[in-house]
Every structure is written in C-alpha cells, then in structure tokens.
Structure 1
C-alpha cells in the first residue's frame, strides 16, 4: 500500500489530493483517500504529513485508519478465498463486495430450498 499526492490536480486552496495505491502481485488499484494536504508538508518517504500539530495528527490518523482497514480486508479475503487481488481488496474497502440480493433472487433461493424438502 502506498500513499502519494496527485500533484497534477491541485485544488483552489493550493492543497492536493492524497491517493492510495493498493498493489497485489504486480496489479494495482488506485483511489482517493478523500483527503487533501499542502504539498510542502508532505513527507514522501514516510507517506505522512510533517509536523505534530493537530492538522498533521488528524490527517495521519485517517491515513492509519485506511492502512488498518485495507490490511484487515486483505487478511479477510485471503482467509476466506485463499487468494487476493488488488481489485478485490479495493471493492471490499468500498463495500462493493457485499452481495446484493434482489427479491427475485431471494424468492428463487427459497423455492430451491423448499424443493429439497419436498418428499421427505
């Protein structure tokens, strides 16, 4: 996982968005961290905002939450499925991996379960 600044898209206030790159086996997925920072305060090596003021602590805490959440989703997918891709981790973080059940799908499953019970 890598945090970096999208310097080619500065905002009107001079800040730039912080981006997240998730890489698994050479394949990567990039998304916004939904945070912006002054590029002069960004430490490329540590991938954190420089300083100990409340501004730096607040942004760094959110980045830590992203790291924990992405790591937890990676572990969960690996233990559940045995393999992980950057796309799967990204979908899990964003909540896209949750199966969407429609009424027709639930009704079909109900009928299939009931059909198994017929004749017993």
Structure 2
C-alpha cells in the first residue's frame, strides 16, 4: 500500500533559548502521523537554511554537518525502502525503529523456508530423499514468485500469513502455475492443506 512519507530536518529551540547553536531534529511523517528525534548535531540559527534543511555556511564544519545530515537522510529512506520491500507495515514509528535497529527479530516467510530447506538438504539419505529436497526447492521458488506476483515483495513477515494469504497462494498455484489438485498440495507446506480457520497460526510454525 502506498504511503505519504516525508522527512524534515529542523532546529528545535528550547523555551529559554537566547543564543548559540540549536539542536537539529528529524521529523518523520507518514500519512499525517509523525515522530521526532534528535540528529545528534546542532547549528547556529543564522547559518540554517529552513527550506533545504541544511547549513548554509561555506566553511568546512558546515560541509561536514551537511554530509552527516545527507547520510542520515539516506538511512531513513533506506529504512522506508526495506519496510516497503518486505511488505511490512510502514509508519513513522516503524521507520524510526528500523533506522535505530529496534525492529526486532521477526521471522519471514522466505527466511524460514530457506532455513527449512537447508536443514532438509543435510538429512538427505537419512531422513529425506533427493526427490523430497527437489520438491521443496521448487516449492520455495513458487513462494518467492508468488510474493512478487501478489505483493511485489521479496519477502514478508511470517505473522502476515492468514486465511487470505493462503487462499491467494492456492489461487496462484491453480491459475498461474497451472497446478492440479495434487500439484497444489505438493507445492504447499504440509500443514496448509488441512488447516481450518482456527489453525492458521500453525502455518507460522510449519517448518518447526
């Protein structure tokens, strides 16, 4: 889903401010909701360009400050891009948290799938056959293609798997991949084929 995202650098004066450098803050806004945080730097008000959100000074310290702010801007936009790429919820808070490295260690669909396949490959000959491993490699490819086809995403948070997701994946296998009933079951993780609406959370542990 498209979001209205913006980033602003501005000077935040204290109530009792009289003179001297002022702290530079960042304001992240998404769909009208915003969060603010300090940039860790300051600037003299007379050298601050409010339109550009940068120092207007010509000396080396101003150039260094602007380069620092450029780097922060890049990292904020990259946090936004990563959230969008993985089809995660994009809010001012989620962008801030990803920028700060606070997004947590959520499992992703493709990440879990790849880890499952890695372990399965090790057990070929003792617990699994080469045919089974090949089937899961094909199933992984279908999952990757489906996320791109449906969500234009390289991966997704595993917590987003629900009835709608599984129904859409089943439709994809039937309509795009032209799988028959056996093919649909073969290329879906085991527990998908037998779950009812009260069992969708089991899908999040499908490879455990």
TM-score (norm 2): 0.45
Structure with bigger helix share is: 2
Mapped partners of 1:10, 1:41: distance in 2: 20
Are residue 66 (structure 1) and residue 75 (structure 2) matched?
no
Partner of 1:105: none
Match of 2:90 among 76, 84, 91: 84
Mapped partners of 2:103, 2:54: distance in 1: 29
Which of the two has higher C-alpha Rg? 2
What SS class does the counterpart of residue 86 from structure 2 fall into?
A: helix
Partner of 1:96: 102
Partner of 2:48: 42
Are residue 29 (structure 1) and residue 35 (structure 2) matched?
yes
CA shift, 1:81, in A, is 2.2
Structure 1 segments unaligned to the other structure (5+ residues): 101-119
TM-score (norm 1): 0.76
Aligned residues: 103
